């Protein structure tokens, strides 16, 4: 049986987006997490942080280190990360379980420190990022592999990136922002024909979106 480009049947007999491959961790992430809407600030901050660390690496590399990242960064408790001192930076740079990139470590601490002002102004990270969810008519009616490969950023991810940078956040470029939007369910980029596409659509329809106190700037 032939499948649309970008789909493949795994050894377990399940049809998936082909990027999930045969690694059990990657397949579980594809089936249970990727594209499902998230509203919790800590989880959103974790995703945004890991997407920044992923730059230049494979997402599977990050997934394999995710538990170590969580342990190293205090379970991604934002307020605790914001209080990190130079000794914490030294500890993180010596942690072989994570990606030891000084600039990205410093960016994570910086972003945690910037979180409070954003939360005070807009009610939380969830309300802020979900205000950048693109409207249905800005999304393709049929998500194909070719269409996905042609897009590394969108007007919505570019706007989200620009607003975060304006607020002093770091390592949040348009491509990182788009990968974050895919991961957090702001968009559903499962290939048409992947069973998880409809599952994610159901989750998105039932999802109660967090509200933002103010509208994003034009």
pLDDT of residue 3: 75
Contact 201, 185 (CB under 8 A): no
- Asked if residue 20 has pLDDT above 90, the reply is yes
- How does residue 215 score in pLDDT terms, banded at 50, 70 and 90? low
The larger pLDDT score, comparing residue 150 to residue 81, is at 81
Active site residue 51: yes
pLDDT (mean) for 171-188: 98
Active site residue 59: yes
Q: Please pick, among 19, 33, 59, 121, the residue that the annotation labels catalytic.
A: 59
Tell me if 213 is assigned to some domain: no
pLDDT of residue 140: 86
State the total domains in the chain. Answer: 1
Contact 63, 25 (CB under 8 A): yes
- Asked if residue 36 has pLDDT above 90, the reply is yes
pLDDT of residue 4: 83
Question: Would you say the pTM of this structure is higher than 0.85?
Answer: yes
The larger pLDDT score, comparing residue 49 to residue 218, is at 49
β-partners of residue 16 are: 8
pLDDT of residue 67: 98
Active site residue 79: no
Q: Please pick, among 29, 33, 121, 145, the residue that the annotation labels catalytic.
A: 29
What CATH number should be reported for the domain holding residue 69?
1.10.340.30
Tell me if 69 is assigned to some domain: yes
Q: Which domain holds residue 88?
A: 7-133+140-206
pLDDT of residue 52: 97
Question: For residue 74, what is the enclosing H or E element?
Answer: none
């Amino acid at each position: 049986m032939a499948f649309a480009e970008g789909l493949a049947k795994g050894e377990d007999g399940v049809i998936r987006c082909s990027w999930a491959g045969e690694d059990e961790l990657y397949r579980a992430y594809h089936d249970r997490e990727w594209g499902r809407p998230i509203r919790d600030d800590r989880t959103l901050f974790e995703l945004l942080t890991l997407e920044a660390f992923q730059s230049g690496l494979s997402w599977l590399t990050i997934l394999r280190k995710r538990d170590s990242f969580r342990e190293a960064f205090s379970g991604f408790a934002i307020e605790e990360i914001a209080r990190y001192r130079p000794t914490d930076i030294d500890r993180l740079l010596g942690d072989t379980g994570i990606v030891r990139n000084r600039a990205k470590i410093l960016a994570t601490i910086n972003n945690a420190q910037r979180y409070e002002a954003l939360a005070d102004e807009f009610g939380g990270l969830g309300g802020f990022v979900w205000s950048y969810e693109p409207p249905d008519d800005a999304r393709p009616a049929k998500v194909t592999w070719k269409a996905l490969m042609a897009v590394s950023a969108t007007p919505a991810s570019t706007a989200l990136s620009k607003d975060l940078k304006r607020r002093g956040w770091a390592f949040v470029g348009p491509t990182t922002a788009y990968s974050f939007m895919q991961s957090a369910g702001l968009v559903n980029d499962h290939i048409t024909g992947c069973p998880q596409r409809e599952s994610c659509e159901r989750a998105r329809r039932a999802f109660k979106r967090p509200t933002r106190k103010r509208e994003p700037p034009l």
